[in-house]
Amino acid sequence: MTQSIVILAGGGPAPGINTVISTVAKTFLKDNFRVIGLHEGYKNLFKSNPKFIDIDFAYADLIQKMGGSALQMSRYKPKDEEFNTDFFVNNNVKLLVTIGGDDTASTANRISKFLAANNVKIQNIHVPKTIDNDLPLPEGTPTFGYYSAKEAGVRISQTVYEDARTSGNWFLVSAMGREAGHLAFGMGAACHYPMIIIPEMFYNTDVTFDRILKLVISAMLKRKVLGIDYGVAIISEGVFHFMTDEEINNSGVNFTYDDHGHPELGNVSKAHIFNTLLQKRIKELGLSIKSRPVEIGYEVRCVDPGAFDLFYCSILGYGVKQLFDEGVSGAMVTADNKGEVKPLYLKDVEDENGKVKPRLVNMNGEKAKLVFRDCLQYITPADYEAAKKYVANPEDYDFKKILNWQ
């Protein structure tokens, strides 16, 4: 029986998935492997009649530059008791290629351990995918899809900023990102937004709606002092992940949760929540400022990959074959800016519960220091006197005091 590999994609979409599928398929087809594309991710892997397609060169070539995923995705997370080796044995599978984010990587880690424990000679290589850029790859190495999603988000963000300037209003943008603030930070910094709010900022204090609102108002007040009547603040959805249940419940928002225990933030408009609370606070302060909510999320997940991700995903695809030939298993494929491919073993980045730890924005990094110091606009002690024209207690809107930064 012909040796085969199987490719599946889990989690949510990200630009570049099809480029990875295409590159992996073409590379293994050259060595006469059968390439199986499994639909619905882990949901189908251990079923008796899984839904899959055989990928040939023509199909791989067709999808190479497309956004979305030719293989239907799923967030299904199989239980340990569902694991079996039937699909692998029946199809003479020698390699399982998983494409996904942290949850997909964590499940790949469990499968890797299961295969090893059962003496099944099948390699398992994970390709790190997420627009959130939150997988713990080597410093400076992005997850694929992040740059293309950020580029699409920046185009929207630039238009929002121009609308704010044109109409003399404020906009409150909420950006995807799960627990990490990479997308919000990247888009806000690229567009010179006067306020960027990400969960990583709150390393010296709790994340609360009150502090978030004060940060936005701090930027509004600073711009009033400067004679600027418009602006945009961007907030990462990740702030919700660091709020206490009491804080979220007191907001009046009732969240549902997905199979992995994450709040289903896609079911509500975070921007609308923040803007409603902001408008109430602005009214209480007697400020004459209009603000509008804008949500940036799903519309950037399935865009066509940009030049960076087209090349990067190709390198990762070639890297899968390289690691396979080297006998690597139970690892993520990584590639640095020189194109050097290395394995990052899942066991080295998991926590005590077998979960892959998310990579957060490095607040001590030079990029963050520059942006928070020179890009953002907010109230400092030097603005107190001028800000008294608008609020009685400007010190309450001092950026560093709100965050307890010393």
Catalytic residues: 132
- Ordered DSSP codes for 328-384: --SEEEEE-TT--EEEEEGGGTB-TTSPBPPPPP-TTSHHHHHIIIII---B-GGGH
Rounded to 5°, angle at Cα 217 from 155 and 384: 130
Residue 104 φ then ψ, to 5°: -65, -40
Q: Which two tokens stand for residue 128?
A: 């790190």
Strands 170-175 and 231-236, bridge-based pairing: parallel
- Strand, coil or helix: 97: strand
User: Could you tell me the CA-to-CA distances from 381 to 26, 297, 378, 385, 402 in Å, in that order?
Assistant: 61, 36, 10, 8, 13
Residue 92 φ then ψ, to 5°: 50, 45
**Cβ–Cβ under 8 Å, residues 90 and 52:** no
